């Protein structure tokens, strides 16, 4: 055993990686990185029915996109690397079987012959009698003769772990403090299924031990599994790792975060145009804080400051407004060349790449301050590359205003040949035009904007005209004028 900190994220590949799982991954990663320890990824695929390769792919893609690297674990859907492998539980069945045999031999686990129907009946009766619907150990107490009869009849069995029937198991949780569970209220968990395979609670203990985990940091839905897991450690003669259970994540309405509240999958956040850095920073604060309530962190800063003491017991609330604010902050901090690269997949999807028009970098730089999501970029800049689509309201109100047609026609002439065709010169020339005609700024500025962009809002007018260039501006002014009666 080393005393190096070792943490893990151990997803069951039965769906995408959701926000809660992403936060668990991040906390384990931060904790390991902070202590120069190891972060391990382990795929808990013992549910043969619900586990899929596609889920493994989605989870690995999500963790990679979040920028959280792992020291040991899967390389892809089937291969893995590291000294404690394999990291796919279905490839470890022989290991589990060894420990199962040991527990059975030591009389710490037993065969349970109860069928599904019998168990359901026991549950039903317990409910009627207002007892908790847990398995009360019917097969634990079988006599030798009864057991022999069951075996002789060829009845299928599962294997259950014998929980102590007295005393309490204390979970010394690193976030919640000591939580005590009465042993006689716990049921004897199935550790080996009738279908001849191990269950999560069993594999988890064996793997966390053999993989030398020092800390198990996971969602609080697993707190109730922990006393049984601790007893399995004891039964095998092992010392349990330290446990930390993270508080639940709620939606804005105070109920558990779910699809109803919007995107829950990490890849949906990627596709909506959040930056991985935003997600790391935002998720870090979803249940953890520094005493100064710092909001924005570099990765180095997060690694240096993250600790389990700063994790809260009370639920955290997912706040999209804050997430969007933070993403805008990080987009602003992104150098424009990088932002262009980040925007490309979104522009490609919108069919905006490879079209004639101004240099992408200049267009993006012009609106850099405004973007909150990468996915907004195409809509905000498409008129630089696609024919103008007039907002009908803007058309009616601004372009149909008295005199607008003449103003646009004349401006096309006035701006043609202007040198340099740059913001400052454009502004001087247009203001001059306003003054000469005795007009108000708005009577000229608004129609120009709508004529070249189709909208009433957008980038600074004169810079926008400069970037569009003379040909595009003159052509669009004329075209808009021609559409007016």
Give DSSP secondary structure letters for 302-329.
Answer: HHHH--STTB-SSPEE--HHHHHHHHHH
Q: Which of 5, 7, 11, 16 binds ligand GLU (CB under 6 A)?
A: 11
Q: Which one of the spans 9-17, 136-144, 156-164, 467-475 is the region binding ligand GLU (CB under 6 A)?
A: 9-17
* Cα(11)–Cα(88) distance, integer angstroms: 10
Half-sphere exposure of 326 (CA within 13 A, CB side): 22
**Angle between helix 423-437 and 441-453 (nearest 10):** 130
Instruction: Return the range that interacts with ligand GLU (CB under 6 A); candidates 8-16, 129-137, 267-275, 472-480.
Output: 8-16
Q: How far is the CB of 218 from ligand GLU (least distance, A)?
A: 4
CB of 67 to ligand GLU, least distance (A): 21
When asked if residue 201 is in the footprint of ligand GLU (CB under 6 A), the reply is no
The sign of the dihedral angle between the CA atoms of 295, 298, 304, 307 is: positive
Min CB(92)–ligand GLU separation in Å:
14
Quick one: 33 or 218, whose CB is closer to ligand GLU?
218
Q: Which residue, 222 or 449, has its beta carbon nearer to ligand GLU?
A: 222
Q: What angle (nearest 5°) sits at the alpha carbon of residue 19, between those of residues 305 and 171?
A: 65
Catalytic residue among 155, 259, 349, 440: 259
Task: State the alpha helices, DSSP H only, in 416-460.
Answer: 423-437, 441-453
Active site residue 259: yes
**204 contributes a contact to ligand GLU by CB under 6 A:** yes
DSSP state of 66: T
DSSP 328-376: HHHHHHS-HHHHHHHHHHHHHHTT-TT-SSS-HHHHHHHHGGG-SSGGG
Q: Are 189 and 199 in contact (CB under 8 A)?
A: yes
The region that residue 454 occupies, defined by phi over 0 for left and psi between -120 and 50 for alpha, beta otherwise, is: left
In the complex with ligand GLU, which residue's Cβ is closer, 206 or 286?
Answer: 206
Residues 6+ apart with CB under 8 A from 325: 372
Q: Between 44 and 173, whose beta carbon lies closer to ligand GLU?
A: 44
Nearer to ligand GLU, 87 or 113 (CB): 87
Catalogue the long-range contacts made by 55-62 (C-beta closer than 8 Å, 24 or more residues apart): 55/13, 55/14, 55/15, 55/16, 56/13, 58/15, 58/16, 58/17, 58/265, 58/267, 59/11, 59/13, 59/16, 59/17, 59/21, 61/267, 62/16, 62/17, 62/22, 62/265, 62/266, 62/267, 62/270
Piece of 7-15, 108-116, 121-129, 140-148 that binds ligand GLU (CB under 6 A): 7-15
Contact call for residue 112 and ligand GLU (CB under 6 A) = no
Regarding 378 and contact with ligand GLU (CB under 6 A), the answer is: no
Planar angle of CA 64, 69, 74, nearest 5 degrees: 75
Token pair of 337 as six digits = 């060349």
In the structure encoding, which two tokens stand for residue 271, read together? Answer: 């596709």
Asked if 12 is part of the footprint of ligand GLU (rule: CB under 6 A), the reply reads yes
Q: Which stretch binds ligand GLU (CB under 6 A): 4-12, 235-243, 291-299, 324-332?
A: 4-12
Residues 148-167 binding ligand GLU (CB under 6 A) are none
| Among the listed residues 111, 218, 277, 446, the single contact to ligand GLU using CB under 6 A | 218
For the CB of residue 232, give the shortest distance to ligand GLU in the complex, in Å.
13
Residue choice 5, 7, 10, 331 for contact with ligand GLU (CB under 6 A):
10
The angle formed by the CA atoms of residues 306, 181 and 175, to the nearest 5 degrees, is 10
Residue 306 CB, nearest approach to ligand GLU (Å): 18
Smallest separation, CB 10 to ligand GLU (Å): 4
The candidate with the shortest Cα–Cα distance to 452, out of 470, 436, 440, is 470
Parallel/antiparallel/unpaired status of strands 168-173 and 177-182: antiparallel
CB of 193 to ligand GLU, least distance (A): 16
Given the complex with ligand GLU, which of 204 and 398 has the nearer CB atom? 204
Interaction with ligand GLU in 301-330: which residues (CB under 6 A)?
A: none
CB of 230 to ligand GLU, least distance (A): 13
- Compare residues 25 and 281 and give the one whose CB is closer to ligand GLU: 25
Does residue 203 bind ligand GLU (CB under 6 A)? no
Q: Is 44 in the site for ligand GLU (CB under 6 A)?
A: yes
Minimum distance between the CB of residue 204 and ligand GLU, rounded to whole angstroms? 5
Sites of contact with ligand GLU (CB under 6 A): 10-12, 44, 200, 204, 218, 222
- Catalytic positions, please? 259
């Amino acid at each position: 055993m080393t005393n190096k900190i070792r943490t893990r994220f151990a997803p069951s590949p039965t769906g995408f990686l959701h926000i809660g799982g992403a936060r668990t991954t991040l906390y384990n990663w931060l904790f390991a990185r902070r202590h120069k320890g190891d972060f391990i990824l382990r795929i808990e695929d013992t549910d043969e029915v619900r586990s899929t390769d596609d889920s493994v792919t989605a989870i690995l893609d999500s963790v990679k996109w979040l920028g959280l690297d792992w020291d040991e674990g899967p390389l892809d859907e089937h291969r893995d690397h590291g000294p404690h492998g394999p990291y796919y539980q279905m490839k470890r069945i022989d290991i589990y079987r060894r420990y199962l045999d040991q527990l059975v031999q030591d009389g710490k686990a037993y065969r349970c012959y109860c069928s599904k129907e019998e168990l359901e009946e026991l549950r039903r009766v317990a409910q009627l009698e207002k007892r908790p619907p847990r398995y009360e150990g019917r097969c634990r107490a079988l006599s030798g003769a009864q057991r022999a009869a069951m075996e002789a009849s060829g009845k299928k069995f599962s294997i259950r772990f014998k929980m102590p029937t007295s005393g309490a198991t204390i979970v010394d949780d690193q976030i919640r403090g000591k939580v005590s569970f009465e042993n006689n209220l716990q049921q004897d968990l199935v550790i080996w299924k009738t279908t001849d395979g191990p269950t999560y609670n069993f594999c988890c203990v064996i793997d966390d031990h053999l993989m030398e985990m020092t800390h198990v940091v996971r969602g609080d839905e697993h707190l109730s599994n922990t006393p049984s897991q601790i007893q399995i450690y004891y039964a095998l003669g092992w010392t349990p790792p330290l446990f930390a259970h993270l508080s639940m994540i709620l939606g804005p309405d105070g109920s558990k975060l779910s699809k109803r509240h919007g995107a829950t999958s990490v890849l949906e956040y990627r596709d909506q145009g959040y930056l991985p850095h935003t997600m790391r920073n935002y998720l870090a604060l979803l249940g953890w804080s520094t005493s100064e309530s710092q909001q924005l962190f570099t990765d180095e800063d997060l690694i240096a400051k993250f600790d389990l003491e700063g994790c809260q017991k009370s639920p955290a609330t997912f706040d999209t407004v804050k997430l969007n604010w933070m993403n805008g902050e990080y987009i602003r901090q992104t150098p424009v060349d990088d932002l262009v690269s980040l925007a490309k997949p979104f522009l490609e999807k919108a069919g905006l790449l490879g079209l004639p028009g101004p240099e992408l970098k200049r267009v993006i730089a012009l609106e850099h301050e405004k973007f909150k999501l990468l996915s907004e970029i195409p809509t905000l800049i498409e008129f630089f590359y696609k024919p103008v689509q007039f907002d009908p309201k803007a058309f009616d109100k601004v372009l149909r205003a008295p005199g607008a047609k003449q103003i646009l026609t004349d401006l096309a002439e006035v701006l043609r040949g202007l040198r340099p065709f740059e913001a400052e010169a454009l502004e001087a020339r247009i203001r001059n035009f306003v003054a000469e005609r005795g007009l108000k700024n708005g009577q000229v500025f608004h129609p120009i904007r709508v004529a070249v962009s189709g909208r009433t809002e957008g980038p600074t007018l004169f810079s926008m005209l400069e970037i569009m260039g003379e040909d595009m501006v003159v052509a669009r002014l004329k075209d808009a004028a021609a559409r007016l009666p």
